[in-house]
A = this chain, B = another copy of it.
Amino acid sequence: MSKKIKLGLFGFGCVGQGLYNVLNQTEGIKAEILKICIKNADKKRALPAEYFTVEKNEILFNDDINVVVEMIDDAEAAFEIVKTALQNGKAVVTANKKMIADHFVELYELQQQYNVPLLYEASACASIPIIRNLEEYYDNDLLGAVEGIFNGSTNYILTKIFKDNIDFATALKQAQDIGFAETDPTLDVEAYDPKYKLCIILAHTFGLFVKPEEVFNYGIQNLSTFDIQYANEKGYKIKLVAFCRKVDNKIVAGVLPRFIKPENKLYNIENEYNGILVESAFTESQFFAGKGAGSNPTGSAVLSDISALTYNYKYEYKKHNRGAKVELTDNFSVDLYVRYSTANPIDTKLFSKIKESYANTDSAYVVGTINFSDLRKSDLLKRKDINLIVAADSKFEAIQNNVASSKEAVEIC
């Protein structure tokens, strides 16, 4: 019934070592590691030397190996490995979100062409089984939205800021010191990492394959003490929220910081935890939370994928294969807080409606309704003295003939 898995691993860092340990400890999963491809042959390893090789073809063309687990950093090198493995009829498990987002259509087609599964639960929100749930449990066309905190590093930084009342630079430094943020934190802090995950979520939520370049991302790099004080005064926290949502039969998507009220379930998602809200016509709001980063949560998702392969599980991409036409749109309105230097005013004509404005001698802000497609073209995005945060009560409304449609208005709570 369930088949024996013979594994070839690429990379043997924390996740790989954890995987080795757990496979040794659990009788339930019939899988063994045959070979591990590493870059540095000289590094001391916890396993006997015969496990290791520096030659990738010893795994990719090894007939005894039926599953490849790819755990290397370089997205392009990873893609070549995954592609060759699939072409050789080997199932693949990966956590490489950038690789998937960059090559999603090719990877989808390779799976169809060679009839082998590629599983990647660990790529989006690590330990939270969101892809499997979207694929299997919410396999209908009733999904309305998926949104949440997809990045553990920035959530750790934002948690420190609000808990310890420190500024962004100090919090970033602390996160780097304990290994929760990279030395070059751009991918996390500027919201590229959650965007790659959002691209994966989009395919399994709405059947939509998009290139990362098509999806808007704005991070927390410009967060100032002024912004933090504004949030504190209102009783909000700030979270970096990735969202995708059906509005007027099109899909809106992006990653932006957002003010979060205490009654929002994301408010209490702290540190390296991720949280995901799934809205469906019948279930209303479902909530998932768990650790979104770290070798154990990632390892557990990899393990679950390996286990699923023992009973020949594969993603069926049901929403995509159903063939319903959906497309991404930027033609929707959002309520935005825009903070800028008082000395360097912004063009308020960008806003169709201004709800709040304030200025002191240094800083000023406007809260107003803006067309998302205007925002994406705006030079506000380039200015270092500006920060953008989605308003806590923002609606995402379709714009038709310059009139926001109230029919499809949805509140985010």
Contact in complex: B139, A307 (CB < 8 Å) = yes
Main SS class of interface, A = mixed
Nearest-CB residue, chain B, relative to A137: B129
Interface residues of A in 280-301 (CB under 8 A from B): 280-291, 296-297, 299-301
Q: Which residues of B contact A286 (CB under 8 A)?
A: 127-128, 288-290
A133 lies within 8 A of chain B by Cβ: yes
A26 lies within 8 A of chain B by Cβ: yes
Q: Which residues of B contact A290 (CB under 8 A)?
A: 283-287
A138 lies within 8 A of chain B by Cβ: yes
Q: Which residues of B contact A158 (CB under 8 A)?
A: none
State whether A140 and B26 are in contact (beta carbons under 8 Å apart), knowing that A129-B133, A268-B265 are contacts in the complex.
yes
Contact in complex: B281, A297 (CB < 8 Å) = no
A132 lies within 8 A of chain B by Cβ: yes
Interface residues of A in 111-166 (CB under 8 A from B): 127-129, 132-133, 136-142
Contact in complex: B127, A307 (CB < 8 Å) = no
A28 partner, pick from B133, B141, B296, B299, beta carbons under 8 A = B141
Q: How near does chain B come to A162, taking the closest CB pair, in angstroms?
A: 15
Nearest-CB residue, chain B, relative to A307: B139
A349 lies within 8 A of chain B by Cβ: no
Contact in complex: B288, A28 (CB < 8 Å) = no
Contact in complex: A307, B26 (CB < 8 Å) = no
Q: What 0/1 pattern do residues 254 to 281 of A give for CB contact below 8 A with B?
A: 0000000000010010000000000011
Contact in complex: B268, A26 (CB < 8 Å) = no
State whether A289 and B265 are in contact (beta carbons under 8 Å apart), knowing that A141-B27, A296-B282 are contacts in the complex.
yes
A139 partner, pick from B28, B141, B285, beta carbons under 8 A = B28
Pick from A137, A142, A290, A297 the residue with the most CB of B within 10 Å. A137
A303 lies within 8 A of chain B by Cβ: yes
Pick from A129, A132, A301 the residue with the most CB of B within 10 Å. A129
A326 lies within 8 A of chain B by Cβ: no
Q: Which residues of B contact A281 (CB under 8 A)?
A: 22, 300
Contact in complex: A22, B127 (CB < 8 Å) = no
Q: Which residues of B contact A140 (CB under 8 A)?
A: 26, 28-29, 303-304, 307
Contact in complex: B282, A141 (CB < 8 Å) = no
Contact in complex: A26, B296 (CB < 8 Å) = no
Nearest-CB residue, chain B, relative to A310: B139
Q: Which residues of B contact A291 (CB under 8 A)?
A: 283-284
Q: What 0/1 pattern do residues 16 to 42 of A give for CB contact below 8 A with B?
A: 001000100011110000000000000
Q: How near does chain B come to A290, taking the closest CB pair, in angstroms?
A: 4
State whether A282 and B265 are in contact (beta carbons under 8 Å apart), knowing that A140-B26, A142-B26 are contacts in the complex.
no
A409 lies within 8 A of chain B by Cβ: no
24 residue pairs bridging A and B, Cβ less than 8 Å apart: A18-B282, A22-B142, A22-B281, A27-B324, A28-B139, A28-B322, A29-B140, A127-B283, A132-B133, A136-B308, A138-B304, A140-B304, A140-B307, A265-B268, A281-B300, A283-B290, A283-B296, A284-B296, A285-B290, A286-B289, A287-B287, A287-B290, A288-B289, A289-B289
With contacts A28-B140, A132-B137, A311-B316 known, what are 19 further pairs, Cβ within 8 A?
Answer: A26-B141, A26-B142, A28-B322, A127-B282, A127-B283, A127-B284, A127-B286, A129-B137, A132-B133, A132-B136, A139-B304, A139-B308, A140-B307, A265-B268, A282-B297, A284-B290, A284-B296, A286-B289, A288-B289
